[in-house]
Homo-oligomer: A and B are copies of this chain.
């Protein structure tokens, strides 16, 4: 399927990295536009017209804007099917991919968000501090499950590199800052090392930091 120019709105060190890697891996024609959280650009009137949620990532296409990482990743797979980033024609296998990515967005990322974004769920400073204290445990339990049950090896879904790998790699970058020792998760750590050596991944990270 041909696509016009795509525009990815991203901020370094956010989950937008997963979609950025997928676009590059797919060979998509895209530009990446940085949204500067330090200037609160995600809340600017211009950006809220693109994404009323006031978050990154967002993907501008010739048919409109997409948000939410699991949806954007699926869109990239389906738009560039020859790149084989997900088992599109196998309903069970595709659902396994979507289940893994849904777990990352609704449970792993959410656990992590209680460190810096506790104000979303409580107003009280003491409550926000209590949430921060639990992040090492809650994020650690998520990665225990990934290590023990979900990551098949060598890639998340087994022999094939998929959109799950880009997304897991992205969230695993946050372990140290969340106060979780990555050494507890040998399979996740090995996965992260191998993914970080991928030339596409290296290019995308370099591009994000250079623009920053």
Contact = CB atoms under 8 A, between A and B. Distances in A.
A212 interface: no
A206 to B, nearest CB: 28
Contact of A106 (B64, B91, B94, B106): B106
Nearest to A3: B91
B124 A95 contact: no
Nearest to A61: B92
A131 interface: yes
Contacts of A114: 121-122
Contacts of A102: 68-71, 102, 105-106
B106 A111 contact: no
Contacts of A149: 52
A71 B99 contact: yes
A18 to B, nearest CB: 13
Interface in A106-150: 106, 109-111, 114, 120-124, 126-127, 130-131, 133-134, 138, 145, 148-149
Contact of A123 (B70, B72, B134): B134
A1 interface: yes
Interface of A: 1, 52-53, 61, 63-64, 66-72, 74-75, 78-79, 91-92, 94-99, 102-103, 105-106, 109-111, 114, 120-124, 126-127, 130-131, 133-134, 138, 145, 148-149
